[in-house]
Amino acid sequence: MIDTQPTLPSSSNLRQGRWLVVAAAVLWSTSGFFVKAPLFEDWPQAVEQWPVRGPLFAFWRAAFASLALLLLVRQPRWSPQMVPMVLCFAAMNVTYLTAMAQTEAANAIWLQSTAPAWVFGIGVFWFGERAVARDWLLMACGAAGVAVILLNELRGENPTGVVYGLLSGLFYAGIILSLRQLRDHEAAWLVALNHLVTAAILAPYIVYQDVWPRGNQWFFLAGLGILQMGIPYVLFARGLQQITSHEASGIGLLEPVLVPVWVYLAWRNAENYTPPRWWTIVGGGLILIGLVMRYAASINTYQKS
């Protein structure tokens, strides 16, 4: 069960891996732009206490992503380790998008951002991944920033949305760790398989709910699946071939920092728009400080990282 990493990646591979994860985080952060679009207001949040809008987003995002990514697959290979990966991915999609549909976009993403703590603990102490002092600093700043936001944000919040958000963080950690362990497999194949299984699992529920996209909703859902989920997950999986899972999850904290930025730029004039509060700005600032301190110095070798 120990990931010994007998060969260390070169400095150029490290930089490439980090930039791939940065690109993935930026694209992921556009989720609020798509999910909070006013043209989806006619979709019901829930029917008889069963979530509807969240699973709808999860299904169509996975369907469009899998269709696009299957065209890129060249070397599909099967491994039993893919079973927990695809199950975690399907569960993360439903729980995260349900949380986003039932609470503010910022709340959902910050709750999911508890994942790096799980990844760091399991990756370092169970799989034996290498961690240096700057990794601990990044995790400390990230945990502090997330804690500041959640302690203030979740008072009086919808408890159902909070539970879904926390669960999405746990499942997200499972995905990161799985992708790292499966790094010898083709990235496009892993991501396509995740989305294909997610769409297949959700399809019967979507048919039962009988709520279907129309008009411009199709274009937004295609963007949600391909640009916000499919492409960035391929970039992230390729980045994990070069850097450890806990470093990738730490860099991924750029996503929640940027989510409210995209929502503000796109929907600040919408009736249901809520601007970021002071604790979101403070918490996001702590995360950025951690990232700057982790990568401020020029890093030329893995031993100095």
DSSP for 149-186 reads HHHHHTTT--HHHHHHHHHHHHHHHHHHHHHHHTTTS-
Confidence band for 3, pLDDT divided at 50, 70 and 90: very low
* Integer Cα distance of 129 and 123 in angstroms: 6
Span 142-167, mean pLDDT?
77
Q: Which residues contact 12 (CB under 8 A, 6 or more apart)?
A: none
- Report yes or no on 4 lying in a domain: no
- Report yes or no on 2 lying in a domain: no
Number of structural domains (the chain) is 1
Whole-prediction pTM: 0.76
State residue 300's pLDDT score: 43
Residue 268 has pLDDT above 90, yes or no: no
Q: Which residues contact 148 (CB under 8 A, 6 or more apart)?
A: 279, 282, 283, 286
- Report yes or no on 290 lying in a domain: yes
- Report yes or no on 242 lying in a domain: yes
For the chain, give the mean pLDDT: 82
Phi, psi (5° rounding) for residue 47? -130, 115
Residue 261: give the domain boundaries: 11-304
- Report yes or no on 67 lying in a domain: yes
- Report yes or no on 166 lying in a domain: yes
Between these two residues, 79 and 134, which has the higher pLDDT value?
Answer: 79
Q: State the DSSP code for 302.
A: G
